[in-house]
Structures are given as C-alpha cells and as structure tokens.
C-alpha cells in the first residue's frame, strides 16, 4: 500500500524544530523513499540532513517522519514536485529549515 500512491512528507528535527519537506513520486512510492533514509543512516542523500549525520552518526534518532499529503498515482512527477514546493513555501523549510532547493 505504501508504494501504491505518491506522497508529500515532512521530516521534523525534534531537537531543533527544523523541517525538511520531501516527496515520493517514483515507482516504489513512500516506502521506497523511506527505505533510502534507512539505508543511508537517516539522510536519504539530502545535503543538510547528511551534514547533521556526519557530525553525529546517531543524529537521525531526532527525526520524526510524517506524511503531509497523499496524492493520486496518476499525478505526474512535475505535479507532485509543484505540491512539494508549495509546502516548502508555506512551512518555511527553505528559510528556516533543512531544504536548500
């Protein structure tokens, strides 16, 4: 089920309150994307998350993962990314969070 639809998600750094907004729109959906976080010790190849974990290998224990929005599988990748960008703007995760893009 987790791989069946596209989603926008939030990673909250419970230590600082900083937020990272991401999206899962590839074939394996959110399950595949979150497996990337597990396989990379919590950073999922995101630059700012990676920097935190390089300083403290256990830092990912501070991360709380939440699904913000479930989207139809029929949405294009571009449409999903537009929704992701909207959440980044509304929640300020570029200016006051962990998103750089």
- Three-state secondary structure call for residue 12: strand
Share of the chain above pLDDT 70, in %: 96
Alpha helices, DSSP H, located in 1-101: 29-39, 47-55, 77-91
pTM over 0.75: yes
Flag whether pLDDT at 32 surpasses 80: yes
Q: Give CA–CA dist 38/36, Å, rounded.
A: 5
Domain covering 6-91 in this structure, CATH number: 3.40.1440.10
pLDDT at 44: 95
Strands 6-13 and 19-24: antiparallel
């Amino acid at each position: 089920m987790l791989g069946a639809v596209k989603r926008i998600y939030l990673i909250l750094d419970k230590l600082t309150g900083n937020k990272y907004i991401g999206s899962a729109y590839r074939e394996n959906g959110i399950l595949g994307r979150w497996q990337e976080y597990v396989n990379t010790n919590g950073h999922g190849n995101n630059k700012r998350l990676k920097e935190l974990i390089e300083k403290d290998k256990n830092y990912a224990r501070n991360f709380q993962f939440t699904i913000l929005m479930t989207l139809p599988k029929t949405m294009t990748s571009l449409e999903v990314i537009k929704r992701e960008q909207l959440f980044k703007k509304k929640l300020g995760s570029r200016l006051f969070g962990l998103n750089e893009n």
